[in-house]
Amino acid sequence: MYCSTSSLTIFTMTRFDINIKQVFPAAAEGDVCARLDVFVEIDGVTRVLTEVAAIVAAFRRDIEPDCFPPATPVFPVDVFLLLVTGTDIDNDDSMRGLLADATWTALMQWSGATKTDSAQVLPFSVTVEYPE
């Protein structure tokens, strides 16, 4: 009798379902620019983060040398975000970085939708996925 084993590759995914509830495009550095709820799914485990605050951590012109200081930042393109969840994610730099990137992506999609459809209102929902 011959038995063979095959190797199975397991692909994991981190998924963020983001529901943008409020947006404040004129927020200054250190101010809240968006409020949202996030459903995070990692390897089949879901966490619900409610009342997440996206804070303007910096503007591109303040960090990147090729930007002209007199330029007015465009929201959300020129904004670097800091997310405050009130959970242990706030102490996990890699997860907080993914959440900030996913939120920025969601805000970019919201911004594009409002340009093409002026009737686009909040809340606005977006799914952002990252293969691991």
Does residue 102 form part of some domain? yes
SS (H, E, C) the chain: CCCCCCCCCCCCEEEEEEEEEEECCCCCCCCEEEEEEEEEEECCEEEEEEEEEEEEEEEHHHHCCCCCCCCCCCCCCCEEEEEECCCHHHHCHHHHHHHHHHHHHHHHHHHHHHHHCCCCCCCEEEEEEEEC
pLDDT digits (tens, 9 = 90+) for 30-40: 999 999 999 99
Does residue 42 form part of some domain? yes
Does residue 113 form part of some domain? yes
Query: Amino acid identity, residue 25?
Result: P
Does residue 25 form part of some domain? yes
Question: Is 123 in contact with 91 (CB distance < 8 Å)?
Answer: no
pLDDT digits (tens, 9 = 90+) for 30-67: 999 999 999 999 888 899 999 999 999 888 777 766 65
For 63, the domain range is 13-120
pLDDT digits (tens, 9 = 90+) for 71-127: 677 888 888 898 888 888 888 888 888 999 999 999 999 988 887 665 567 899 999
Does residue 3 form part of some domain? no
pTM of the model: 0.82
48 HSE (CA, 13 A, CB side) = 1
Number of domain units in the chain: 1
Does residue 97 form part of some domain? yes
